[in-house]
Chain A
Amino acid sequence: MSTLTQEKRLALLTRMLRMRRFEETVIHLALAHSYVGRQHLHIGHETTGAAVGAVMKRGDRIHTTHRNHGFVIAAGADPGKAYAEILGRADGLNGGKGGTWHLCDPEHGIGSTSAMVGGSIALAIGSAWAFKCQKTDNVAFAHFGDGTLDEGIAYESLNMASVFELPVLFLCENNSKAGQRPSSMLAAKALRHVPEALSIPSKLVNGADAEETLAAIDEATRTIRAGKGPVFLEVTLERWPGSHQVNAAFPTGVTDLEMAWDEGKITGKHADWIKRFDPLRLYAKKLAETKEMTRDEILAVDKRVQADIADARKFAEASPFPKVESAFQGAFV
Chain B
Amino acid sequence: MPRMTFAAALIDGLVWALRSDPKAFILGRGMTGHGAEADAQKPLIDEFGDRITDPPTSEQVMTSLGLGAAMAGTPMLIHYGTASFALEAWNQFVNEVGNGHYMSGGQLQAPVVFHVFHGIRGGGGPQHSVSPHAMMANAPGIEIVMPASPADAKGLMRASMKSRNPTFFFNHTMLLGLEDEVPAGDYEIPLGKAAVKRKGRDVTVVALSKMVPEALAAAETLAKSGIDVEVVDLRTLCPLDEATVIESVKRTGRLVVADEGSIICGAASEVAAFVAEKAFAALKAPVQRVARAMVPVPFSPPLEAAVMPGAQQIIDACLRCVKARETISG
Contact = CB atoms under 8 A, between A and B. Distances in A.
A63 B68 contact: yes
Nearest to A154: B61
A119 B67 CA distance: 11
Contacts, number: 143
Interface in B134-149: 140-141, 143
Contact of B73 (A93, A123, A134, A140): A134
Interface stretch (A108-116, A214-222, A248-256): A108-116
A104 B101 CA distance: 11
B104 A159 contact: no
Given A111-B68, A332-B143, A133 B23 contact: yes
A92 B105 contact: yes
B263 interface: no
Contact of A97 (B55, B70, B102, B163): B102
B65 A104 contact: no
A330 B73 CA distance: 20
B60 A122 contact: yes
B23 A104 contact: no
A332 B165 CA distance: 6
A126 B67 contact: yes
B103 A104 contact: yes
A39 interface: no
A77 B17 CA distance: 36
A134 B23 contact: yes
Interface residues of B, number: 41
Contacts of A140: 68
Contacts of B100: 112
Interface in A78-136: 92-98, 102, 104-106, 111-112, 114, 116, 119, 122-127, 129-131, 133-134
Contacts of A163: 56
Interface stretch (B90-98, B216-224, B282-290, B303-311): B90-98
A330 B61 contact: no
Interface in B27-82: 53, 55-56, 58, 60-61, 63-74, 76
Nearest to B72: A130
B69 A130 contact: yes
Given A112-B108, A124-B68, A133-B23, A97 B73 contact: no
Contacts of B71: 106, 111-112, 126-127
21 contacts: A93-B105, A93-B107, A104-B105, A104-B108, A112-B68, A112-B96, A119-B64, A122-B63, A122-B68, A122-B92, A126-B65, A129-B68, A129-B69, A129-B74, A130-B68, A130-B74, A140-B68, A153-B60, A330-B102, A333-B164, A333-B165
Instruction: Give 9 closest A-B pairs by Cβ, nearest first.
Output: A126-B68, A94-B105, A122-B64, A95-B105, A130-B72, A156-B61, A130-B74, A156-B58, A333-B164
